[in-house]
A and B are shown apart, each in its own frame.
Chain A
Amino acid sequence: MAFLSYLINGLSLGSVYAIIALGYTMVYGIAKMLNFAHGDIMMVGAFVAFFALNSFGLPVVVSVILSMLATTCLGVVIERLAYKPLRQASSLSVLITAIGVSYFLQNGAQLLWSSSTKVFPSIIASGSLRLFGGALSISYLTLVTITACIAVMVCLTLFINKTKTGMAMRACSEDKGAATLMGINVNRIISITFAIGSGIAALAAVLLCATYPTLSPTLGSMPGIKAFTAAVFGGIGSIPGAFLGGLMLGVIEILAKAYVSTQLSDAIVFAVLIIVLLIKPTGLLGKKLSEKV
């Protein structure tokens, strides 16, 4: 039973990673860039939600929507100002710019909101679902997190596969030149991608903070790296891959802590990652791209 409860803890942690990784992987799939500022956009979302809930006393749903709007705008503005001028530049230049944006957001947040730690209010009634006569308890929070994560993944998949914009996105990710020739406004599609990716980041932020309630300007950096790892783990660019990668990462981390050592859990997570990538060099669900000569 202890194993089951660790597993559920792992799934809960993993779904937070997964939901951040979804944003990462989407931006990567279309814009072909590693947006290292993604975790920090999430941090801004967390602060907006915190002030909406705590200082203005808005209801949870309104706060979440407000925070999503804020990060969507932020994502679009960042894309316009910092990434768009680099459309033709090497992917490494864009990576470094993303790191610059990440520094900027962290330090800006510290100046705006001070570095003193804030605590996110609980938005979901504490308490838990008891199974097997109370031997196994799953908190409502865990249930909500996992459900939200699945919902976001399903919506995203549907959006990408069924809508016209989604089709344009897939076209851009395959071949930007050909997409332009087909009359798709590639710049607009990339902006939309950033908007959606950043919007999801706010949702991830609220879920992250509901589970781990301390807020600080650096709150996005560690989950950001973990989510990046999860996205690669699952096969970067693949939406179900990010979901699976996030869940697996969370589960491995918790089980490593529980059964091996809390000191070495990070080393174990990364070791498993390396082994998986050696067996499947493009991640769990990544596509093997044919090489052009």
Chain B
Amino acid sequence: MKFEKMLKGGLAAVMAMSLVACSGSSDSSAPAADTSTGSDTTETTVAAAGAFKLGGSGPLTGGASVYGQAVKNAAELAVEEINAKGGVQFEFVMEDDEHDTEKAVNAYAALKDWGMQVSLLTVTSAPGAAVAPLYKEDSTFALTPSGSSLAIIYADLINLADPYGNVFQMCFTDPNQGVASADYLSTHTNLGSKVAIIYKNDDNYSTGIYEKFVNEAADKGLEVVYAGTFAGEDNDFNVQLSQAQANGADILFLPIYYQPASTILKQAKDMDYAPTFFGVDGMDGILAMEGFDTSLAEGVYLLTPFSADASDDLTKNFVSNYQNNYGDTPNQFAADAYDCVYAIAQALEASGATADMSAAEINDLLVEQFTSMTFNGLTGTDVTWNTNGEVSKAPKAVIIENGVYVGVED
């Protein structure tokens, strides 16, 4: 018996050693392998001399992969377009972090080994907060498309002090959206006055908006009559909806992503409950879901900086290119990622950085650019950043009518 066990152990040891041996050799060849697979599909292509190494991580597998894939696709699209123009050149690698803090740290290390010079940080918040201090330590510039938690840019969350200084956000911070939503609802009393909220309490994004909204609502005379939560992949909202209805709520505030929101809309309809639904940028994407009955979303308000239905040329081009390449309609995450790459390209161009500089040198140049420049993109015009890394852009209120977004005039 013992012998057999020993044997198993021995076998495993051999395997482990061969794996370690493989890894040793694959370390140096990893980027080469990446580019070669890239050229087969429509992924990143350029490996030309003088290309900046742009990295990033996000959930490419698992439950949150829909967001990671959107960012990866859009960033690749932007990189291709920018490379085709000449000027600043990028080589882009996106690692999988499975929406997990531990894996995000591993992914960061893998990117560092690859020689990353500029980064898109992470797609989701908790992994972003885990790697942000590492970016600070190694002085590598990062601009996250969609990590909206304050923990990504501040080391001291209680006093909002001690910003990392070289980690920037392309999306609104969560509290910002809470304030904007409370502002909008308190100045548009025709929508209703009694607010119920359903939020996802194991999600940074959702909880962050909720907490700020409740604080602001009290100051602005909005009455919050009910707050219900859900977690994980729960998709039964009958109880929350019944209680919102029983408490007489005429506004249902949904600071959540569009997938659970679509289920909430359906279940509310099934129980004949029709308050004004009010969402934030996570709601964007609801109309593009395959198979979704858009009549359910009729009359839904949302505050969002981007809508795939906008008629400006930039958005139209982006949406059609994205659809041609990846088959899906781009959502908020994709738009933010696309803007990130363009913003970084603009800053690199203006700073005169070259690809042979170290990550730390590029970091200093980019921080200087980002705190002084103005950027126009899909998700906003005249976008600026403060020295803490927070973005300043204006969310727009839109309402869904006949299955399309319509801007609401103030």
Contacts and interface: CB of A to CB of B under 8 A. Distances in A.
Question: Are A and B in direct contact (Cβ within 8 Å)?
Answer: yes
B291 interface: yes
Contacts of A117: 66, 258-259, 262, 289
A123 B290 CA distance: 16
A219 interface: yes
A206 to B, nearest CB: 14
Contact of A115 (B65, B258, B269): B65
A118 interface: yes
Interface centre among A120, A217, A262 (most CB of B within 10 A): A262
Nearest to B65: A115
B233 A222 contact: yes
Interface stretch (A2-10, A27-35, A191-199): A2-10
Contact of A254 (B238, B263, B272): B238
Interface centre among A6, A13, A141, A214 (most CB of B within 10 A): A214
Contacts of A6: 238-239, 242
B211 interface: no
A119 interface: yes
B106 interface: no
B323 to A, nearest CB: 12
B270 interface: yes
A268 B255 CA distance: 26
Interface residues of B, number: 40
Given A118-B290, A137-B271, A216 B263 contact: no
Nearest to A50: B291
* Interface size class of chain A, counting residues whose CB lies under 8 Å from the partner chain: 35 or more
Given A116-B69, A218-B63, A262-B230, A2 B246 contact: yes
A263 B236 contact: no
A116 B328 contact: yes
Given A116-B290, A120-B291, A262-B228, A212 B65 contact: no
Given A6-B242, A114-B327, A213 B263 contact: yes
Interface string B210-239: 000000000000000000111111111011
Nearest to B63: A218
A216 B259 contact: yes
Given A213-B266, A221-B233, A110 B61 contact: yes
A119 B262 contact: yes
Contacts of B395: none
Given A9-B236, A114-B69, A221-B233, A126 B269 contact: yes
Contacts of A141: 270
B305 interface: no
Contact of A119 (B232, B233, B242, B292): B292
Nearest to B230: A262
Interface string A120-136: 11100010100000000
Contact of A262 (B229, B270, B293): B229
A74 to B, nearest CB: 21
B139 interface: no
Given A2-B242, A54-B291, A107 B270 contact: no
Interface string B268-294: 011110000000000000000111110
Nearest to A107: B61
Shortest Cβ-Cβ A-B pairs, 3 listed: A212-B235, A115-B65, A119-B291
Interface of B: 61-63, 65-66, 69-70, 201, 228-236, 238-240, 242-243, 246, 258-260, 262-263, 266, 269-272, 289-293, 327-328
Given A6-B242, A116-B289, A263-B201, 9 more contacts: A110-B61, A116-B66, A117-B66, A128-B270, A213-B263, A215-B291, A218-B62, A222-B233, A262-B230
Interface of A: 2, 5-6, 9, 13, 50, 54, 106-107, 110, 114-122, 126, 128, 137, 139, 141, 211-219, 221-222, 253-254, 257-258, 262-263, 266
